[in-house]
Each structure stands twice: as structure tokens, then as C-alpha cells.
Amino acid sequence: MNSNILANYANTPLGQIHYREIGSGPPIILLHESPISGQVYNAALPAIGKRARAISPDTPGYGASDPPPEPLTIAGYAERIALFINSLQLKKIALVGNHTGGSIAVQIAISHPEMVHSLIVIGCPLYEEEEVKERLDNYLEPFVLFANGSHLQWVWDRYKRIWGEDSPLDLIQLATTEFLRTGSRYDWAYQAAFKFDIAKVLPKITCPTLFLVTEGDILRNKNEAAVKLTPGAKGEVIDSPFGQLPARHPDIFAKKVFSFLEETGYL
């Protein structure tokens, strides 16, 4: 991790939130996908921090943030992240969310419109009813500890499968170790995202919104539909065969974020 990135904890009424930040100026909050942590933004934070105060919290129950006592809905995660934002005494923010982080960001924009100036969603989890059932039935395999350590190989193989066999080893290592920190709780935020009817809330968004995705993202085919459902939203597709845009292409990611936030008048 870049030595200029500062790690800290914020105290909220519902537990401590661990976060990383770099830079100064208008705050940009970066919410990560499940089931990893804000560390997935380590490569992007310095790029964003050149023009803004870049902040990447760990979703409650992931990374080093306190876990909730029971599984949450997306509204529950959004409530805790809003408390985190308030704990930093931030009044107006730009909010970026990737996959599950995108669902949480959308809910914050709906629940706290006074807080969010601009919104960027990377890979919108806009699932059809049939997809929700398939994911809940088949995607979330139980995490079981085995004496021979085969569960460690299982997590590694899982990311090689869903992120691509030729993914950088350091990225697979990050995803694997962060997954293992959550253990049997790994699926809590997944469950929340799959059950979140985002199609019903997208039309309620009032802030400028960009749906950003790569060609290789597993949610690539949701982008155009998300744009249509969201008043005044824009959509953009990056020519990359992989997902994980902030981690794999941090400079491109930062450029797209800056361009949109200049357009909305936030930067």
C-alpha cells in the first residue's frame, strides 16, 4: 500500500468503520464490491487523491470494520455508511460504488439526497427475478473449514474462476485473504445485494449519476437498463476484458471519475 495512504477507524453509533484515505479537497467516497474490502482501491486511491480527498471504507463486516450482529439489508449497510460519512463531518460528497458497493451507494443517494452531490456506479447489480433465484440457489456455496486446508484452495480457485485465470496474482491474493477474514459471513452482503430490488429505487435518484462498466465485467449487460431507469443518468463502457476497473486500471478509472465530476460541477 502507498505509504501516503492513511488508515484509521471512525466511531459510529453502530460500530467502528475502518477506512483508508489520501489527498485533500472535495471528498470522494469509494465503496467496494463483496466480499472483499476497501483495499481493492489501494491502487486507485493515490490517483483519485491527486484532486480530491479519496476515502475507501470497509463495508461493515468486511475488512477491519466491525461486523453487525446479524445479516443486513442494503438499507442497513447504507445506514451504517451514512453514519460513517457523518462521523467524518462531511456535508456533501461524491459517491462511487462497485457492484454491492453500487447498491449501497444508490440507497444512500435515495435515503440521504442532501448528502450526495454526484453518484458513480461501477457494474450495477440490476438483477431480474430469475437471476436472483439462481444466484441465491447456486452462487453462494457454504464456506466450510477443512483440516487439510482445502478451503484455502477453494477460495483461491473461486477468484481465478470468476475474475479470470490470467488475473494478476497480487489481486487474487488480496481477494482471497480478504474473503478469508469474513469466513462464514462472506455471503451476507451478497444476500443483501441479490435481494435488493434496485430497479424500484433507481427512478428515485435525483443527483447526477454515471453508470460505468468494463466490457468484461460480469454486470456489463446491466448498464443500459440502469441508465434508462435513472432520471438524467449517463452510461459509459470501458474497453477492457476484465472487471475490477479501479484495481486493474486505476488511471483510467480516475480519469473517468474526474471527467464526470467536472461535468457535474463537483470538481
Q: How confident is the model at residue 29 (pLDDT cuts 50, 70, 90)?
A: very high
pTM greater than 0.85: yes
> Mean pLDDT over residues 154-173, rounded?
94
- Residues of the chain with pLDDT > 70, as a percent, come to 100
How many helices (H) and strands (E) in the chain? 11, 8
Looking at residue 3, its pLDDT comes to 72
Dihedral of the alpha carbons of 238, 244, 245, 251, in degrees to the nearest 10: -150
Compute the average pLDDT of residues 149-153.
96
pLDDT at residue number 210: 98
Q: What confidence score (pLDDT) does residue 1 get? A: 61
pLDDT the model gives residue 79:
98
Alpha-carbon span 124 to 99, nearest angstrom: 6
Q: Does residue 78 contact residue 68 with C-beta atoms inside 8 Å? A: no
**Over pLDDT 90: what percentage of the chain?**
97
CA 66 to chain CA mean position, Å: 17
Topology classification of domain 6-136+187-263: Rossmann fold (3.40.50)
User: Which strands sit side by side in the sheet containing 15-22, from one edge to the other?
Assistant: 6-12, 15-22, 53-57, 27-31, 93-98, 116-122, 209-214, 234-238
pLDDT digits (tens, 9 = 90+) for 224-256: 999 999 999 999 999 999 999 999 999 999 999
Quick one: cell of 238? Answer: 470501458
Quick check: 199 pLDDT over 70? yes
Q: Residue 101 carries which side chain, given as an amino acid letter?
A: G
* Spatial contact of 111 and 86, defined as CB atoms under 8 Å apart: no
Alpha helices in the chain (DSSP H): 44-48, 74-87, 100-111, 129-138, 150-163, 169-182, 188-195, 198-201, 223-229, 245-248, 250-263
Cell of 223: 448498464
Better-predicted residue by pLDDT, 2 or 218: 218
Q: What is the mean pLDDT of the chain?
A: 96
pLDDT at 249: 96
1 or 81, which is more confident: 81
Show me where the domains of the chain are located.
6-136+187-263
pLDDT at 2 over 90: no
